[in-house]
Amino acid sequence: MDADSRLRSLTDNLACRRRLGLTRVAGSRQEMDELLSLVLPAGPFASGRSLAQIRAWMGECTRCPLHQGRKKIVFGAGPEDARLMFIGEGPGAQEDQQGEPFVGPAGKLLERMLAAVGLARAEVYITNIVKCRPPNNRDPRAEEAAACRPFLEAQVRAVAPRAICTLGRPAAHALLGGDASMGRLRGRWSQALGVPLLPTYHPAYLLRTPQAKAQAYADLKALVRALR
Ligand code: URA
């Protein structure tokens, strides 16, 4: 049974008990943990969720207006035990169609850059600060990023990468706060959610500004060194 069906069956079961006048439930520790992981909002209990549980918790999300224009939720892709996590800003047109992050031209460039520093796309986890495409690829609004934040935080806890790399300004600002330019932020280590974080340029920016690629390569090499 998938997580949504399990949650529905648990909810039906509890409603039935309430109709019968039962106000206490007894269950195994495992059943209670499972129930908590399906229904609790982010918080101390959120740690320990698997990526599949986080995806189930998100469901067919309508928590912010971005859901109105999306075709597919772009949750994230990559192994649960990835050592490196990339966080972009939000899905573009192709990502929205396919439900996968960074599959358009910017994603292809990211993939080539990863290969150049000896990393396969399949070994890194990639997600975005918002999981639904903003209209006309505008930057995600603060309230949209806030609505998606519990899922992003839970993804970081589930993957527990050795390092995070934010791609572009909206992602860096979402994780680090402030409003510094990418010129100031890129290539400087800091920390978010207890994980070392290095911001670099967004690959879409690099497609428009190839002269910045050398700096982005330097950032990727620094990330690879940090994984050793
Ligand atoms: N740009 C992003 O920030 N994320 C994607 O998934 C694709 C393009």
pLDDT tens track, the chain, 228 positions = 655 556 556 656 666 566 566 665 665 444 554 554 555 444 434 458 999 999 999 999 999 999 999 999 999 999 999 999 999 999 999 999 999 999 999 999 999 999 999 999 999 999 999 999 999 999 999 999 999 999 999 999 999 999 999 999 999 999 999 999 999 999 999 999 999 999 999 999 999 999 999 999 999 999 999 999
CA–centroid distance, 201 to ligand 1, in Å, is 12
- Cβ of residue 134 lying under 6 Å from some atom of ligand 1: no
Angle among Cα 46, 193, 183 to the nearest 5 degrees reads 145
- pLDDT for 4 equals 54
| CB-side neighbour CA atoms (13 Å) of 206 | 21
- Cβ of residue 96 lying under 6 Å from some atom of ligand 1: no
CA–centroid distance, 128 to ligand 1, in Å, is 7
Question: Other CB atoms closer than 10 Å to residue 52's CB: what's the count?
Answer: 12
CA–centroid distance, 13 to ligand 1, in Å, is 41
Residue 145's nearest CA partner among 112, 168, 121, 114 is 168
CA trace torsion 145, 95, 37, 176 (10° rounding): -30
Query: What's this model's pTM, rounded to 2 decimal places?
Result: 0.82
Going from the N-terminus, what domains does the chain have, and what CATH number goes with each?
Answer: 72-227 (3.40.470.10)
